[in-house]
Amino acid sequence: MKLQGVVTWFDNFCVLLRRDGHSQLVYKHAISTIMPGQPVQLFDQIDETTDR
């Protein structure tokens, strides 16, 4: 089953998803994959034109 939403809260055992004004509590052991809805930039881009 595919669930979609924004993670609004989590702890060691559960994740709370919110979508369209409704919340769903999902146990982490039931989750196999989490994918972002849009690209995520994890690191700052390095400007290669400057000297180090």
Domain ranges for the chain: 1-31
Beta bridge partners of 14: 27
Question: What backbone torsions phi and psi does residue 30 show, to the nearest 5 degrees?
Answer: -90, -5
Six token digits for residue 3 = 């669930």
* pLDDT at residue 45, rounded to an integer: 80
CA distances from 2 to 30, 45, 47, 48 (A): 11, 33, 39, 41
Give pLDDT < 70 ranges for the chain.
50-52
Q: Give the pLDDT of residue 46.
A: 79
pLDDT of residue 2: 92
